[in-house]
Structure 1
Amino acid sequence: MRTIVINSQKGGSGKTTLCAHLAVEAERAGDGPVFLIDTDPQGTLSTWHEHRAAELPQRAEVPLANLAQGIEALRARKATYCFIDTAPTRTDENADVFRLADLVLVPIRPSPSDLWAAAATVGLLKQANIPFLFVLTQAKSNASITAQAAAALSHHGPIAETFISDRVHYAAAMTDGRTALELAPKGPAAIETATLWKHIKACLHANMEKTSTAGKKRHG
């Protein structure tokens, strides 16, 4: 099982929307079973899931203090992916969550304040040597600030080639427990989410190979 944590130090980055959409896309792509865990006290992901008519992805009710044991329980249930939504500002607790991740996704809106806020998260991740990937969210098509943000982020870590655009469907679908992919399965939101998910899987695979190679060198 691969554990993917979504975190941003700044509210409004779209982390919960990203978490829900990627989990649904993973199931849609045949990569399940997929489970969701909500560690944010606001419980937005949990509320979305409660409004959801579809059974998948599943959600596991796991207290933050027992997160490691909860992840192991999901692994025993043959889960393929676990997506964990986090609170934006609980730095110490999030540091513990990061250590359980195979990959941390850091959603960033293309704005100066969001870029500045990313520094704290990136510092924690680099200090603990945890793989991470920036994801530009709510991006304006063909806007110079989007390209500028991508260029700035690339100096601090890897950035997903696919951006999540500023589309009404993303927020509208969440109100009744759905996703933009389900509102319009062949629409632009569905296409960019599917492409992003493929990129994330490629990153996970590359990280696994890197870890395996490093292990062989240590024991060679």
Structure 2
Amino acid sequence: MQIIVINSQKGGSGKTMLCKHLAVEAERSGDGPVFVIDTDPQGTLTAWHSKREAETPARVDLPFNGMEKGLELIRTHGAAYCIIDTASGRLDIASELFKLADLVIFPVQPSEDDLTAAPVTVQNLKACGVPFVFVLTRVKPNTLITAQAAAILSKHGQVAETLIADRTGYKSPYAKGQTSTEAEPKGAAAQEIAGLWRNIKSCLHENMQESEALKKHG
């Protein structure tokens, strides 16, 4: 099982949106079973999941102080991926989750405020030694700020090739707790999320290869 934590200390970056869409996409593309965990006290992911009629992805409640044991239990149940949604402004809790992660997804909006806030989380991620990837979210296509943001972030770490556009569909409440990609499987959002999931799997694969190489030479 591979553990993905989605975190940004800046609110409104799209953490929960990415969590639910990537979890659904992983199941849709045959990469499940996928479990999701909501560690945000606001419970937005939990509220969405409670409306779903689809059985996948599964959601599990784990107390923070029992997270590590709980993840091991999920692993024994044959989970392929566990995706953890997090709160903004709780870097102490996020740091503990980083230590459990195989990869951290760091969503960033291409704005001055988001770019100014990013280095605090980056420093923490590097201190924890966890692999991470930036995902640009709520992007306005073909704008200078998007290109500038990608260039600035690339100095700190890897930036996902797929950009997530500012689409109403990502925010819309669909019937039966569907994601926009389920409601419109041939739409632009579905193509974006599918592309991003491929990017994420590629990052995880590269990290595994690097880890195995280090073990051989260690």
TM beyond 0.5: yes
Which sits farther off after the overlay, 52-61 or 169-178? 169-178
Q: Indicate if the aligned counterparts of 1:48 and 1:175 stay in contact, CA closer than 8 A.
A: no
Give the structure 2 partner of residue 142 of structure 1.
142
Give the structure 2 partner of residue 214 of structure 1.
214
Partners of 1:15 and 1:117 in 2: how far apart? 15
Q: CA deviation at 1:176?
A: 5.5
Q: CA deviation at 1:175?
A: 7.8
Any idea what SS the aligned residue of 2:107 has? strand
- Code of the aligned partner of 2:113: S
1:83 aligns with 2:83: yes
Give the structure 2 partner of residue 104 of structure 1.
104
Which aligned runs of 4 or more in structure 1 are off by greater than 3 angstroms?
173-176
Any idea what SS the aligned residue of 2:79 has? coil
**Equivalent pairs, count:** 218
Q: CA deviation at 1:107?
A: 0.3
Identical aligned residues as a percent: 56
- Code of the aligned partner of 1:46: T
Q: Within 5 A, what are the aligned runs for 1:182-197?
A: 182-197=182-197
Partners of 1:173 and 1:210 in 2: how far apart? 40
Partners of 1:176 and 1:119 in 2: how far apart? 38
Which structure 1 segments of 5+ residues have no match? none
Give the structure 2 partner of residue 22 of structure 1.
22
1:171 aligns with 2:167: no
Change (3 A) 1:174 1:98: farther
Change (3 A) 1:94 1:142: same
CA RMSD of aligned residues (A): 1.0
Kindly provide the CA deviation profile for residues 56-100 of structure 1, in whole angstroms up to 9, marking residues without a partner as x. 100011111111111101100010000000111111111000000
Give the structure 2 partner of residue 52 of structure 1.
52
Partners of 1:51 and 1:57 in 2: how far apart? 12
Give the structure 1 partner of residue 42 of structure 2.
42
When the two structures are superposed, what TM-score results if normalisation uses the length of structure 2?
Answer: 0.98
Give the structure 2 partner of residue 132 of structure 1.
132
Q: Within 5 A, what are the aligned runs for 1:60-79?
A: 60-79=60-79
Partners of 2:142 and 2:194 in 1: how far apart? 21
Give the structure 2 partner of residue 157 of structure 1.
157
Which structure 2 segments of 5+ residues have no match? none
Kindly provide the CA deviation profile for residues 95-148 of structure 1, in whole angstroms up to 9, marking residues without a partner as x. 000000000000000001011111111111111111000000000011111111
Q: Indicate if the aligned counterparts of 1:17 and 1:174 stay in contact, CA closer than 8 A.
A: no
Kindly provide the CA deviation profile for residues 18-60 of structure 1, in whole angstroms up to 9, marking residues without a partner as x. 0000000000000000000001111110011011121110001
Kindly provide the CA deviation profile for residues 147-203 of structure 1, in whole angstroms up to 9, marking residues without a partner as x. 111111001110000011000011004686221101110111000100110010011
Any idea what SS the aligned residue of 1:116 has? helix
